[in-house]
Amino acid sequence: MHLLRLLSAKLYHISKRSIAISIVVFVFFSATVAYALEPDTFGSWFNALYWVLTTMATVGYGDYYAVTVAGKVFTIFLYIFGIGLLSLVIGRIIDTFAIIKRMRGEGKLNYQGENHIVIINWGKKAQTAVEEILSHHPETAIVIIDESDRHPLEQLDQVHFISGDPSEDEVLAKAMISRAKSAIIFGDSRIDEASLVDGKSLLIVSSIERIAPNVHTTVEIMQEKHIRNFRHVQVNEFVLSHDAISRLAVRSALGVGNPDVFRQLLSRQHGDDIYEVPVSPSWRTYGDAFFGLLEQGATLLADRSDMGINRRMSEDIPSNARLYMICDEETYRKIVG
């Protein structure tokens, strides 16, 4: 019994490559021996190979079987060692899947893909961002980078997790940051001092801009005075922490405007949303774009950050214009084809 346990332990620690080579050699050797012992039974080496594989797999169709004493003795040998070897391979495959699942949960697997969205620093706001992305584009791949050691959304297959310091090049490389579509950096809620939070975010986005300058970066900033520092590292977008929530609370308290409208624009899960619309060749002025979209059920909102274009209807649309409109998703899809 002790010998069997010792043998099992040694076999378990054999490398996958050695096991693969061993089983291939064993199968081909067994087919050759079987055909040599009973050439009339099998008729060809390929039939002997077929018999060996069905025997090792415990299928046993019965279309071929040994008839001589030597052939039956070899069959017993194949039962003992062949099936055991195949069981070892199956066990290693199952173990491999278990290891991969564990490494995925611990954030140790590199991400292999492109055009994904990287979300850095896990928290309630990051979770809301994931829900918002998936509600609008369920097929979007998301990579979360955080210093925790457990996947926060392991049940979602399209959400990958990388554990580590997001300011380190190695960790960003694991998230395939160079091939990402965009990156969202949230303030680390585990840090109490606002200046330190912004300092860490600045370090992270500096690393991203150095490694992957083409990736669109959005950063949450805790203190408004730090905006100039983030502009210096060429961040594409930044949002002040709790800015939207504070403004909605004040508007609700003072009865200024309708907070429901703002909530709809802040979330793609309900109501209309803001979409970028490609400039049609038939539009020469902002007025052409405004009335053209209005006829299709959408409202022209802005050109980039300029929301005053609807007061300049006769002005020509510049060649570098980026127009935004408000409408529902069905109207948006109809307009963009």
Q: Is residue 168 one of the residues assigned to a domain?
A: yes
Judgement on whether residues 89 and 173 belong to the same structural domain of the protein? no
DSSP character string of 247-278: HHHHHHHHT-S-HHHHHHHH-TTSS-EEEEEP
Residue 253: CA count within 13 A, CB half-sphere: 6
Judgement on whether residues 90 and 193 belong to the same structural domain of the protein? no
Read off the pLDDT of residues 72-83 as tens digits, 9 standing for 90 and up: 888 888 888 877
DSSP character string of 165-213: -TTSHHHHHHTTGGG-SEEEE---TT---HHHHHHHHHHHHHHHHHH-T
Judgement on whether residues 148 and 233 belong to the same structural domain of the protein? yes
Judgement on whether residues 130 and 196 belong to the same structural domain of the protein? yes
**pLDDT mean across residues, the chain:** 82
Judgement on whether residues 146 and 215 belong to the same structural domain of the protein? yes
CATH number for position 12: 1.10.287.70
**Band of pLDDT at residue 227, cut at 50, 70 and 90:** confident
Alpha-carbon distance 146 to 40, whole Å? 66
Q: Is residue 255 one of the residues assigned to a domain?
A: no
Lowest mean pLDDT among 197-211, 225-239, 271-285, 309-323: 225-239
Q: Is residue 313 one of the residues assigned to a domain?
A: yes
Q: Is residue 253 one of the residues assigned to a domain?
A: no
* DSSP conformational letter for 224: G
Read off the pLDDT of residues 277-306 as tens digits, 9 standing for 90 and up: 999 999 999 999 999 999 999 989 889 878
Judgement on whether residues 147 and 206 belong to the same structural domain of the protein? yes
Judgement on whether residues 93 and 187 belong to the same structural domain of the protein? no
Give me the number of domains the chain comprises: 3
Q: Which of 247 and 297 is assigned the larger pLDDT?
A: 297
Q: In the predicted model, is pLDDT for residue 170 greater than 60?
A: yes
Q: Which residues contact 60 (CB under 8 A, 6 or more apart)?
A: 54
**Band of pLDDT at residue 318, cut at 50, 70 and 90:** very high
Domain span holding position 319 = 272-336
Provide mean pLDDT across the span 199-203.
91
